[in-house]
Structure 1
Amino acid sequence: MFEREPATDPRQRLWQVVLLTAIEDALIGPSGEFEAHNKVRVCAEARSYLTTPSKDLSEVCALAGIDAQALVDRMRVKIAQAPTPEDLIAGTKMNRQTFSKAASDDKPKRIPFPDRQFTINGTTRTASEWCQRTGVDLQLAHNRLNRGWATDRAFLLTRQEAKQHAAAEARASYNIVMSRKSAASRKRRPSASTTTYEHDGERLTLLEWSERTGIAKQTIAKRLRSGWTFAAAITTPPIRRGHG
């Protein structure tokens, strides 16, 4: 069900392999399971996934370069003609080699990027339709998706909005880094309020000594800067000027 030539983009080829594995599980049964009931369950889940349109299937098909609706229509026909999961697991006649050959002989056309369908917020449109609605250049959207952008950002953000968004993310990252550096710096350098001073067997902060003695914290700090001993700084009453 895929192109005869592998995709040149390794990421697209990877998603093609993902889809091919699901198709194999649905049509010939999973090879990685040994218990019969697990094989039946995986086979049934693969069949449901490939025949029910969903946002996840649409995105995987878009990444693989496959038309999602064409795949669903084709798989509905194939699975309707296939044995039930129970009968299939009981006696599988098709091996992986013959399956791969059958898949390559029965492939849908590769859908050009403008015609590929993408689902955003529950709405599915082609790439061309999204770009016409949002004003985003088709090639720009294609390049963004190839760089791993989320589908909604690739189609909804204009160049200016993308620049603003990138700048905001850069500022946020810078602020986080600076905040962490500032926090680390504060951790390394204890402030004056956390520095403790010992007197008469007690060790308290400058604020606590101020509350204990009634002498303003600024006065004690000024005395210490002037060369006073700590004992003198907290035991000498302040001079009250202007009172006889």
Structure 2
Amino acid sequence: MRFTLALALLCCLTGAAHAAPATPHKAYLSLIIDDLGQNLPRDRRVLALPGPVTAAVMPDTPHAAEFAREAHKAGKIVILHMPMDPATGPFAWHPGLPMDELEKRLDAAFKAVPYTSGINNHMGSRMTSQQPAMAWLMGNLQQRHKFFVDSRTSAQTVAAAEAQKIGLASVSRDVFLDDVRTEQAITTQLETAIKLAHKQGSAVMIGHPYPQTLAVLERELPKLKAQGIEWIDIKQMIGVRSNKAMAGHGKDGVYR
């Protein structure tokens, strides 16, 4: 009898040892702050945020190069925040501009913002729906070894879809934090991003260096770990998503 019980216990222990360990569901967040380069004291608060924030620097700002250097020195990923229609200015892309002018403006923008690893669009609701221009842009970025973040300022964007077609490292924004500039609204948007990360495994947030946004981020970001969230940089997020679209961006991993 004792031998039988001992044998049964041994079998149970052996089975437990060989059972696959439970893998906790991972939830990842990435954060991009847009419109940097305009105000150094303000923008330096972004660099002080406690984690891998991505600094999106506008080329037509007075401190673009200086802030990009500071962000790079601080270990932050720097990306070019490329103006696109309806944005204006000497770097802005507009439908109807010839391809050689688009290339000239892109070259100038990259020269204005050093240490860039990638690019995302500033505005661009009209431009990112232009398939020929977006296809050209993704090919150019691939030659430059840069990644692309689709800010998804328009439901008609084809930018991420064109990046996916050629296998360019890319990812899309899920949540804008501060379309409404109140701390209550921004906190709600951050909570939305956290819930989305738990639901689909990851979420990409974009915010701006508004005082209300920075106040919420300074207060709430240190709490992410306790909420089961892993805050990763945008390059890691591209790896996590493997260039696949989330449900809100497409179907079966393919961008619309």
Q: TM-score with structure 1 length normalisation?
A: 0.21
Q: TM-score with structure 2 length normalisation?
A: 0.20
The structure with more helix, counted as a fraction of residues: 1
